[in-house]
Amino acid sequence: MDLSTHAFFEGQIVPWSEAKINIATHGFMYGTSVFSGMRGYWNAEKKKLFVFRPFDHYRRLLNSARMMAMEIPYDEESLIELTLTLLRTDSWQEDVYLRPVVYKADMGIGVRLHNLRDDFCMFVMPFGKYVSNDTNAHVTFSSWKRIDDNVIPARGKIAGAYANSALIKTDANRAGFDEALALDSHGHVSEGSAMNVFMVRDGVLITPPVTDNILEGITRRSIMELAKNELGLEVLERSIDRTEVFIAEEIFMTGTAAQVVAVTKVDHRPIGSGAMGAMTTQLRELFDTVVRADHPKYRHWNLEV
């Protein structure tokens, strides 16, 4: 990684190479940190960088922090201000990924959440595609279950919970798949390692509800709104069974890093025609227009840097 740019660390902007935590830091040892992943999109025509839905990302980050009994002296607005300052420090002119983290910053041994100091840090890096096969991904059902709300809340973006995502992703990749779908403890489809899932059945767009152990994705929310408003689709949040996936007309997955990934095969079974479907194609195009601040109706989702 190129560390020649800046990061926010211990209350100030510093050269990224100097943003170092101690090996005894609680958040590092016990996974007691929460994070967010946002994208900044460079619009070459407008010659401007736009961050996608930062308020929503920070709202979710602060909610994740609340679940983990963390307190930081920032609200959504002050985090947005800080983000603008950091991005302007390095005058980014390309697509970037932003990683804000709230973490248990004290050092020492002892598993708990209380009586520990919390801190906030953030870095920015150039970022392109996350899933290379994003128009014809081959996905498998993971043998790993999605963590349950009563184990580690999936609705929080909690660092320790990403051990579950990493198991899901690595086993899928090593078996030759692009990504995996995890089932929850009730056997319902929850989500991928770092993306939500949608299926089209009988022309209706369906995605698991927030009570099926998913991260409440901001891309998910955006796609639901775009599908309803712009494509006039019926959108349903309901539990999805494993075998419904095989007989769906279209499957796609969504996430900040992943954006909109067309899934054309699941466990060697072609989905629909076996090629990227019409709704997925339209939603991908629409989403790209929206995130780059080229859709006037959704400009309030784009923060100009």
Shortest separation between residue 194's beta carbon and ligand PMP, angstroms: 4
**Which residue's entry shows tokens 């190129």?**
2
190 binds ligand PMP (CB under 6 A): no
Listed in order, strand segments (DSSP E) in the chain are 6-9, 12-15, 33-35, 38-43, 48-52, 96-104, 118-126, 137-145, 179-183, 189-191, 196-201, 204-207, 235-237, 250-255, 259-266, 269-270, 302-304
Tell which positions 227-266 bind ligand PMP, by CB under 6 A.
Answer: 254-256
- Of 27 and 153, which has the nearer Cβ to ligand PMP? 153
* Cα–Cα distance, 106 to 115 (Å, whole number): 9
Are 165 and 218 a contacting pair, CB within 8 Å?
no
Which C-beta is closer to ligand PMP: that of 19 or that of 161? 161
Four-CA torsion 290, 295, 296, 299, nearest 10 degrees: 10
Binding span for ligand PMP by CB under 6 A among 103-111, 119-127, 193-201, 289-297: 193-201
Residue selected from 122, 147, 172, 194 as contacting ligand PMP according to rule CB under 6 A: 194
* Contacts of ligand PMP in 157-176 (CB under 6 A): 165
Number of neighbouring beta carbons within 10 Å of residue 12: 9
* Contact with ligand PMP (CB under 6 A) among 118, 119, 191, 250: 191
Count how many residues are written for the chain: 305
Q: Please, which of residues 199-218 interact with ligand PMP by CB under 6 A?
A: 215, 217-218
Q: Rounded to an integer, what distance in angstroms lies between the CA atom of residue 211 and that of residue 132?
A: 30
Residue range at the interface with ligand PMP (CB under 6 A); choices 77-85, 132-140, 191-199, 279-287? 191-199
**Is position 157 annotated as part of the catalytic site?**
yes
Q: Does 196 bind ligand PMP (CB under 6 A)?
A: yes
Q: Which residue carries 């089932």 as its tokens?
A: 183
Binding residues with ligand PMP: total (CB under 6 A)? 14
Task: Concatenate the DSSP letters of all residues of 104-133 into one string.
Answer: E--BSS---SSS--EEEEEEEEE---SSTT
Q: Would you say 107 or 221 has its CB closer to ligand PMP?
A: 221
Of 13-21, 129-137, 189-197, 281-289, the segment contacting ligand PMP by CB under 6 A is: 189-197
Beta bridge partners of 180: 140
In whole angstroms, the minimum distance from the beta carbon of 188 to ligand PMP comes to: 15
Task: Tell me which of 157, 169, 228, 297 is the catalytic residue.
Answer: 157
Residues marked as catalytic: 157
Judged by the rule CB under 6 A, the positions of this chain that interact with ligand PMP are: 37, 165, 191, 194-196, 215, 217-220, 254-256
